[in-house]
Structures are given as C-alpha cells and as structure tokens.
Structure 1
Amino acid sequence: MKRFVLRSLGAGLLAACAALPAHAIDGASVEVGTGNASQFLRGGLQWNFSRPLYESANLRLGGYWDLDLAEWRSNQYMNIPGQTQNLTEVGFTPMFRLQMPGSKIFLDAGIGAHLLSHLYNNNGRRLSTALEFGTKIGLGYNITPATDVALMVSHYSNGAIKEPNNGVNFASLKLIHRFK
C-alpha cells in the first residue's frame, strides 16, 4: 500500500507539473544508473533558478530545481543472490551548475530529499528510513544549446537519523532537454 501511495504521489506530482503552462517547466530529463547490485530508471522535470547566483567574465554559478520519479531494481535483496526488490523513489533536489562562459563543459552538484517506497536492503547495504538525502555530482557537456548529457555519481543516506545507515552509491548517465 505504501508503495502504491508513493508511486501515486510521485506520478501525481509529475502529472501536475506537466499540466502547468509550457513556460513554467524549463526542461525534462531521463537518467539510467547502476550501483550496489541495483539499477534505476529516473524521469525528471526541471525549473531554472530565476537568476544566476554568481556571474563574472570567467565563471557562472546558476542552477535548477529537479523533481524526479525513479524505479529502483535491486538484485540481491536481503543479501540473497537472485532475490529482487523493486522500490519507487520521489525526489526534489536543488542542483547547482558551475560553467565557464562559452564552454560546453559544466559541473552539476546538489543535495535533496528523497522518499523511498520501501526500506532499501540489498547486497549487504541497508537504509533504515524511507526519507533519504541524495547527494549528486556530475560532469556534463552541452551537446546542443537545448540538450545536455552528464555522467553523475549519487550517494543516498539518511544523515544518521537512524541506524543502520550504510548509504548507497550509484553511477548514472543523465540526459536533459531544455524547453527554453
């Protein structure tokens, strides 16, 4: 039931955001990742910060709000090879982008809140709360003026709210398309 509610909430949030006027959403993303005998597929919507946080002739620090919905599949649930666990994640992360003017290369980084439909227990790593903090960092490239690709590294942890708190790490490939 909890998973159904979380999925419904996440799908409802994404649908509500998608129903906003086109000028309200600045971009959409898809991301695939793997780590700790787990894989995920994530879809997201982005809203740019209203203005850069810092800008000079040599450097620009801006960013975007990232709302995402992901499905995780773990292949060693409760440390049993071949035993699977699927869970849904809804997350909200402010992402900061550092880029030199005129460069196509950028660095994205952020930390946000993520709700999991089930407690993660895979390949000897456990998360004891449904609320997790996701730290993300990525190196990206502007393929076109409207499309970015980034290699991301993510770490999920509950910030020592409750033990066990082994944390989970993922490596992923993220594709972002901006509408404006």
Structure 2
Amino acid sequence: MGQSTNNARGRVALSLMFAASMLAPAASGAKELTSPYGIFIEGGISDDSRSAVAGIAWTWVQPSKWGAGNASGYLETSIGEWACHRRQGERYHACSTQVGVTPVIRYQPEAWEHWYMELGIGADVVAPAWKTDRRRFSTEFNFGDHVGLGRKFGDEGRDEIELRAEHYSNGGYRNPNSGENWFQLRYMHWF
C-alpha cells in the first residue's frame, strides 16, 4: 500500500470524524434539530469538475411569519465526491472528498405557494485539497456559501427539487485562493 493511499484514507477518516463530532450536539439534547429531518442527494457541475453529494438536514428554526412570507432554518451535513480534470483533455477522475456542515436560512413568500429561496454559509473539508489542470485550493479547510431556488411537491410538500449556485473557497486566509463555483441540482425528502 502506497503512502498516498494511506494519506487519502486518513483524510477521509478525519473528515468523517469531523462530521460525526458536528452531529453529536444534535443527538444529545437539541430537540428542535430532530424533527423534522430530511435526506438529500445532489449533483453538481463547475468549469473543471463534477460532484455527487448526499446528506442529512435537521430543522433548527421552525417556520415563522417574517414580512410577506415565512422564514425557517435547517442545518445540513453532507459528504460527497468531486471528480476533476488533472490534465487538459483527460477524463474526469475522483480527486477530492468533501465533508461539510452548513446552517441554512429559508424564505417562502406567501405569494409563491410552493416555491422558496434559501442561502447558507458553512464549513467544509475538501481532501485532498482540490486541484485541476487550471486551478487549485491551497487548503483542505474551506467555506461553502450558496443561494438556491426550490419547489416543494408531493405528499404535504415533503419532496423538494432545488437549483443552487455555490462557491467554495478558503476565505482568503491562504493563497492561492482561486475558489470554485458550482451549479447544483438537489432532491430532498423530509420525514
């Protein structure tokens, strides 16, 4: 077994432990995070990469009246695989594993019966540090911020489809900080 294989496994294990430690407070006593909860899958595309992501979400702010609509919030945890080009003309290959935790604020205007908007800013570990033939991250720790537009459907609006724009970068604390912009399509089911 090569050193790079051991390093990659170590980074994935560390990322999973980080995600588990972020979930521990929710399991120990924060009742508002346990109901309702949802699961999601998501596919993404950027200039140089593709992604497949799955995760779990917990409501932490119940819907309440705000202006001409309702505001709510949830916490999402995610794990995904990024595939990228390492050299020009090369096929996509797995290049990084992403683990993240993101608090999300959602707003549903009264006039938009089944539609909603949301935004979130969270912490992500992308290991090994993402790198393509044209750009790279200088750190494994990054921030992910997104805006999304979605629609609820199905039984009691428990199913959702959402289009997101997300930006990942290290916030400028180390160079290079090229960041990466993604367009993502997400399906979520709330229990």
Give the alignment's TM-score, normalised by structure 2. 0.80
Q: CA deviation at 1:123?
A: 3.9
Q: CA deviation at 1:9?
A: 4.4
Q: Which residue in the other structure is 1:86 paired with? A: 95
Measured at CA, do residues 157 and 151 of structure 1 come closer, stay the same or move farther in structure 2, by a change above 3 Å?
A: same
Q: Does 1:126 align with 2:136?
A: yes
Q: Secondary structure at the match of 2:12?
A: helix
CA distance in 1 between counterparts of 2:71 and 2:61 reads 12
Unaligned runs of 5+ in 2: 1-5, 28-32
Identity of aligned residues (%): 26
Checking the alignment, whether the CA contact within 8 Å between 2:11 and 2:128 is kept in structure 1 is no
Q: Does 1:168 align with 2:176?
A: no
Q: Secondary structure at the match of 1:97?
A: strand
Q: CA deviation at 1:124?
A: 1.2
Q: Does 1:31 align with 2:42?
A: yes
Q: Which residue in the other structure is 2:83 paired with? A: 73
CA distance in 1 between counterparts of 2:115 and 2:82 reads 29
Measured at CA, do residues 118 and 176 of structure 1 come closer, stay the same or move farther in structure 2, by a change above 3 Å?
A: same
Supply the AA of the counterpart residue of 1:69: I
Q: Which residue in the other structure is 2:165 paired with? A: 153
CA distance in 2 between counterparts of 1:94 and 1:170 reads 18
Supply the AA of the counterpart residue of 1:155: H
Q: CA deviation at 1:58?
A: 2.0
CA distance in 2 between counterparts of 1:8 and 1:100 reads 41
Checking the alignment, whether the CA contact within 8 Å between 1:36 and 1:122 is kept in structure 2 is no
Supply the AA of the counterpart residue of 1:66: E
Q: Secondary structure at the match of 2:62?
A: coil
Measured at CA, do residues 112 and 58 of structure 1 come closer, stay the same or move farther in structure 2, by a change above 3 Å?
A: same
Q: Does 1:107 align with 2:112?
A: no
Supply the AA of the counterpart residue of 1:48: T
Q: CA deviation at 1:11?
A: 4.7
CA distance in 1 between counterparts of 2:34 and 2:163 reads 26
Q: Which residue in the other structure is 1:51 paired with? A: 62
Q: CA deviation at 1:61?
A: 1.5
Q: Which residue in the other structure is 2:51 paired with? A: 40
Unaligned runs of 5+ in 1: none
RMSD across aligned C-alpha pairs, in angstroms? 2.4
Spell out, residue by residue over 1:123-179, the C-alpha distance to the aligned partner (whole angstroms, 9 max, x if none). Answer: 412110001100111110002211111001110011111110111011010011001
Measured at CA, do residues 30 and 10 of structure 1 come closer, stay the same or move farther in structure 2, by a change above 3 Å?
A: farther
Checking the alignment, whether the CA contact within 8 Å between 1:151 and 1:171 is kept in structure 2 is yes
Measured at CA, do residues 141 and 86 of structure 1 come closer, stay the same or move farther in structure 2, by a change above 3 Å?
A: same
Measured at CA, do residues 96 and 129 of structure 1 come closer, stay the same or move farther in structure 2, by a change above 3 Å?
A: same
